[in-house]
Chain A
Amino acid sequence: MDSTAEYLSLDEPTRSSHLWKYTPWRRIHPTGDITSIPDVGTPRLRLVGLDGGDAPEGIRLEKGVMSVSGLPEGDVVTGSFLQAASASSQWILRIEPGFSSQDPVVLDIDVKGSSSILHLSLDVGRLSELELITRVRGSGKWFGLLRTGEIGAGAVLNDVVVCLQDEGTLLRVDSIAIGRDAQVRAGTVSSGSERTKADLRYRMGEPGGNLRVLGSILSVDSMHIDHHVEIYHDAPETFSRLTWNSACGGDSRTVGTGMLRVADGSRGADAAQIFHNLLLSADAEADSIPELEVLEHEVVGCGHGTANGPIDEDQVFYLESRGFDPSEARSALIAAFLNSTLSEMGSDSLHDWLVELLNSELRTPDA
């Protein structure tokens, strides 16, 4: 059955499903008519260096889609919908084996018009080293981003997705297989789109994989930002950490759900997930639900936790005693909170770039 037929055969997912508890599919679908797969446009793509110049040789965009075995099982509704709708907007980001770049590379995705979609296949060659920033921006009303792919054996990848869509809805699905001994930092920075639904899945099916999933989320006004992160340890000696920081202001809502699965036979797996929510107003709401499913007894550790709270008034007083006015103190504390995860996403140059971006976003939040 092709993806179109598969999608059309499905029932609407209900709120009893972990994935759809907080954000119904009907609200995320491009038209709201979930029985349709509408025609959608393609975004403009540009692969450049951090300074806006040409990307280095050894990394390129090609038309097409890559078939990858060992991808994590994803949600069938969004998976089949995005595959069907993106049939004419498929690109492969190919990184040659052994490729190495000291400077981050930026994949700019400019979304315009009523709706657009992209299926991006990541082909990260073995033993390559790269910092990749995928930046989504523009005034599009609806954007669907499906990222599938494989991180080759021994590769070192800092993969940061920055979501800065001016308005509208973002539907994002990642389905990434992590190769043997690969080291991956998967960062998400989000302070855009009115509605975001993201389902990020990583499968460590080879021994020695090392994954850090990091989120810096800023929701303001009446944004609704929902991320589900699922990490599947399916091989021995695999390591993962999920740290997700959300600052939630206005009457916005953030949702962070995590699923940490350790398959039988994944001896020596070491996994943990933590969600922190900083509530910036009385009307803001944050929900975090970390879950574990551990089928292997001989693990180093598997833990999870969540913490919610407002800005710490003692921290505010400390900064005010150093001359920060109340607004500066508040902004500095929000930035610090988000920076705790931002600073872990990659190199100093990547971090500096992200901090500048964050500061520009913080200049006008209605928090």
Chain B
Amino acid sequence: MAMGHGESDIEALLEIRNLHAGIDDTQILKGIDLSIAPGEIHAIMGRNGSGKTTAANIIMGHPDFEVEEGELLLSGENLLELEPWERAREGVFLSFQYPQAVPGLQVGNFLRKSVASIRGEEAAKGADFRRELNEAMDTLKIPRNFLSRYVNDGFSGGEKKRFEILQLLLLKPKLAILDETDSGLDIDGIKTVAAGINAAVRGTDSGALIITHYSRILEHVQPDKIHVLIGGQIVATGGPELATQLEERGYEWLDSKAEVEGIA
């Protein structure tokens, strides 16, 4: 029996179809198609302004962005009908490029509340939660006194990124979007963060979408597919070797392809 269109949707963890979106009447994404299967890690690479962060914000449901056309499905469910907090509870996680500081909100309380909201009250209680928290902090080399600090308040760039990955490990999302989580990190920081991403995704049914400028993090988190975004469209998709090509040749060799397709 031939497989119907709807059945293939359910197999995909994330399905983006013909997504057109923008902000303040400016169209930024001009027809994105992308499919991530459970257990896969994909990467999106591109220059500044190519639409990478917009794509991340749209998947999370940032209210400033408007979807004009297209579909966004998580395990077959239409994310576009859900508010950001509902998407989070359905299993979408965004590691922010610039995480917000919330002075006065202690990290420990924030983590407990987040875990309770997303995984349920029981997951945020008792010895099991403390053990899980301690293990995740050890993986990321985060000291215990971190818990009494305020969320991202006075954190260094590296601390902010580690804290985002700590949340990833504790919230156990179906889909993790990592928006330039490697930027601003030294090589040790990249390795630590990569270990966190691998621990969260590898060997699970979760998936990840890594947004990055650089191939360095992809040496430590081997993606299944790499997509290149230029002018709001994916102009190339390939395996890990595509990152090496981009590292050597830059993006210019893809500009002509974008021009031919009328994108750039």
Contacts and interface: CB of A to CB of B under 8 A. Distances in A.
Interface of A: 312-315, 317-326, 328-329, 332-333, 335-340, 342-343
A317 B96 CA distance: 11
Nearest to B111: A322
Interface string B98-133: 011011111000100110011000000000000000
The 8 closest A-B pairs by CB, nearest first: A323-B117, A336-B104, A336-B105, A340-B104, A339-B104, A318-B100, A322-B114, A323-B118
Nearest to B116: A323
A343 to B, nearest CB: 7
Interface residues of B, number: 28
Contacts of B4: none
Contacts of B94: 321
A319 B102 contact: yes
Contacts, number: 79
Nearest to A339: B104
Contact of B63 (A317, A324, A329, A335): A317
A329 B85 CA distance: 10
A320 B102 contact: no
Contact of B102 (A313, A318, A326): A318
Interface in B156-194: 167, 171
Interface of B: 60, 62-63, 83-85, 87-89, 93-94, 96, 99-100, 102-106, 110, 113-114, 117-118, 150-151, 167, 171
A321 B102 contact: no
B102 A324 contact: no
A337 B103 CA distance: 7
A33 to B, nearest CB: 43
Given A323-B117, A332-B113, A317 B104 contact: no
A315 B117 contact: no
A323 B85 CA distance: 5
Given A321-B88, A322-B118, 15 more contacts: A315-B100, A318-B96, A318-B102, A319-B102, A322-B88, A322-B110, A323-B85, A323-B113, A323-B117, A324-B85, A326-B85, A336-B104, A339-B106, A340-B103, A340-B150
A361 to B, nearest CB: 15
B171 A335 contact: no
Question: Most chain-B CB neighbours within 10 Å: which of A323, A325, A338, A340?
Answer: A323
A323 B96 contact: no
